Amino acid sequence: MSQKKSRILKLALFATGLSGIVAEYILSTLATYFLGDSVFQWTMILSIMLFSMGVGSRLSTFFTTKILEKFLIAEFVLSLLTSTAALSTYFLMGMTENIGVVIYSFSIAIGLLIGMEIPLVTRINEDNEELRTNIAGVMENDYYGSLIGGLFFVFIGLPFLGLTHTPFILGGINFLVAIALFIRLKKYIHKSYRIPFTITIPALLFTILFLSYNADTIVLYGEQKRYNDKVVFSKQTRYQKITITQWKEHYWLYLNSSKQLCTFDEFLYHEPLVHPVMKLTKDPRNVLILGAGDGCAIREVLKYKDVEKITLVDIDPEMTKIGKTHEIFTTMNDSSYYDPKVKVINQDAFQFLEGSNEFYDVMILDFPDPKSIDLNRVYTKEFYRLCHRRLRPFGHIITQAVSPYYTTKAFRSIEKTLGASGFKVLPIRNHVYSFGEWGWVIGSKYETKSEIKERLLEMTFKDTNVQWINNESMNLMTSFGRDLVKIDSVEVNSIRNPVLYKYYLDGTWAKFL
Judge contact between 379 and 399, C-beta under 8 A: yes
CA 133/CA 122 separation, integer angstroms: 10
Instruction: Give, rounded to a whole angstrom, the gap between the first and last alpha carbons of the chain.
Output: 60
Residue ranges of the alpha helices (H) in 93-185? 99-124, 131-152, 162-184
Beta strand pairing call for 250-255 and 342-345? unpaired
Is the CA virtual torsion 172, 178, 183, 186 positive or negative? negative
**How does DSSP classify residue 97?**
S
Return d(Cα 159, Cα 333) in angstroms, integer.
27
Based on the number of CB atoms within 10 Å of its own CB, is 326 exposed (0-12), middle (13-18) or buried (19 or more)? middle
* DSSP SS3 for 87: helix
> Which phi and psi angles does 434 have, rounded to 5°?
-75, -20
Give the number of C-alpha atoms closer than 13 A to the C-alpha of residue 481, restricted to the C-beta side: 4
**Sign of the four-CA dihedral 127, 130, 132, 134:** negative
**Coil, strand or helix at 318:** helix
**What is the secondary structure of 235-246 as a DSSP string?**
EE-SS-EEEEEE
| Displacement of CA 97 from its chain's centroid (Å) | 19
Side chain identity, residue 263 = T
- What sign results for the dihedral spanned by CA atoms 450, 451, 454, 459? negative
Distances (CA, A) of 186 to 134, 191, 243: 22, 9, 48
- The distance from CA 360 to its chain's CA centroid, rounded to whole angstroms, is 29
Pick the catalytic residue from 366, 463, 488, 506.
366
Active site residue 339: no
Catalytic residues: 366
